[in-house]
Every structure is written in structure tokens, then in C-alpha cells.
């Protein structure tokens, strides 16, 4: 639409009492992230885009860039960390991510929604602070990201973290 690729965030089909039906949409421009609310009348058409998802593997960070490897061609591609967004701070070596492409032009990247990372630095929990207390403390995980965790979390604990919000989900029990 308008020469750019957009993602449909939300839509609502409306049939008013008078006049023809229409669709109210909320769209996001893939490249810039700009959000637009647009109404389409019945019969209006937009060109669908074939979005290709290419599996890539995060290899390492280097001078503000993430080096990714295409898992099909084994080609290594440096990508600016800012392009990966706020989720980039949770990238762990050998993690698989998805490159979203249209006609071999990269539109963006999808990182896993959840990652498991080890706590490398946190203050010790104080006596009397419980799991249900609701209070949190700062912790640093192996990728260097800082998150808020409950007081019972200690150095060496493996945590499940939501990369979309950067929040603690649960402690992963290593014993099965």
C-alpha cells in the first residue's frame, strides 16, 4: 500500500444502518514502525505481499553489530543491533531467529518470545522476603541484560524471560 509494506495489527468490519459496509484497520509500516489507522470501503483492494521467513542463527556480537548466519546458505550477515530492537539484549550465541524478507529485501527480524538465561549478578535475597511478596530486585543475566526478578532468585539460577517485555516469567527447574 502506498509503495510500502504494512502489517495488519487490528481490523473491525462495520455494517452501518445506512450506506455500504467498510473495514476499519490499524496498520504498521514494516520499515519504520509508523502506525496508521485507515478505513477501507467495500470493494477496495490492496496487493498482498509474499513474506518469506528465513531461519538464521545468531553467532556473536561485534562493534555494535550482531553477526547472523543464514542456515540454508551459511552466509554470514552483520546486522546493526538497533535493527533488532530492544529484544537484542537477550540474544544468546547459537540462538535461532527469523529474518522476514520480501523479494530478498530484509524487513525485520523475529526473535523467540521466550529465552532461558542464567543469572550472573544479583543482590542476595533477604530473610523474610518470599515468592508471593511481590517485591523485586535487579539482576543481570548472561547476555548482559538487566531485569527485575523476585527476591528468591540467586546467582546461577536459570530463568525464563519474555523477550517482548523484558520481564521475568519463571525460574526453570533443572531437575527433571
pLDDT, tens digit, 9 for 90 and up, residues 12-44: 988 888 888 899 999 888 777 788 899 988 888
What's the CATH class of domain 114-171? mainly beta
> Over 60: is that where the pLDDT of 130 sits?
no
The stretches of 53-156 forming alpha helices (DSSP H) are: 81-84
The residues of the chain that CATH labels 2.30.30.30 are: 6-41
Q: Tell me the Cα Rg of the chain.
A: 21
Non-local CB neighbours of 65 within 8 Å, separated by 6+ positions: 78, 79, 80, 81
CATH 2.30.30.30 fits 6-41, yes or no: yes
Given a contact cutoff of 8 angstroms between Cβ atoms, the answer to whether 151 and 126 are in contact is yes
Q: Which CATH number fits domain 52-110: 3.40.50.720, 2.60.40.1930, 3.90.228.20, 2.40.50.140?
A: 2.40.50.140
More confident residue, 33 or 148: 148
Percentage with pLDDT > 90 across the chain: 15
- pLDDT tens digit sequence for 65-99: 889 998 888 899 898 888 877 788 888 888 999 88
CA quadruple 111, 113, 115, 119: dihedral sign:
positive
pLDDT of residue 131: 53
The residues of the chain that CATH labels 2.40.50.140 are: 52-110, 114-171
pTM: 0.65
Amino acid at each position: 500500500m502506498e509503495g510500502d509494506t504494512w502489517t495488519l495489527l487490528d481490523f473491525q468490519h462495520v455494517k452501518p444502518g445506512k450506506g455500504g459496509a467498510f473495514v476499519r484497520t490499524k496498520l504498521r509500516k514494516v520499515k519504520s514502525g509508523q502506525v496508521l489507522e485507515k478505513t477501507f470501503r467495500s470493494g477496495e483492494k490492496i496487493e498482498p505481499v509474499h513474506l518469506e521467513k528465513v531461519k538464521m542463527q545468531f553467532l556473536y556480537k561485534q562493534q555494535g553489530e550482531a553477526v547472523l548466519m543464514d542456515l540454508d546458505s551459511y552466509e554470514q550477515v552483520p546486522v546493526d543491533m538497533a535493527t533488532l530492537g530492544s529484544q537484542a539484549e537477550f540474544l544468546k550465541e547459537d540462538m535461532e531467529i527469523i529474518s522476514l524478507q520480501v523479494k530478498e529485501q530484509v524487513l525485520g527480524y523475529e526473535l523467540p518470545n521466550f529465552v532461558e538465561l542464567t543469572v550472573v549478578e544479583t543482590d542476595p535475597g533477604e530473610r523474610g522476603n518470599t515468592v508471593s511478596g511481590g517485591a523485586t530486585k535487579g539482576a543481570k543475566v548472561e547476555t548482559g541484560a538487566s531485569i527485575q526478578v523476585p527476591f528468591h532468585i540467586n546467582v546461577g539460577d536459570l530463568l525464563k524471560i519474555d523477550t517482548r517485555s523484558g520481564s521475568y516469567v519463571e525460574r526453570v527447574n533443572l531437575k527433571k
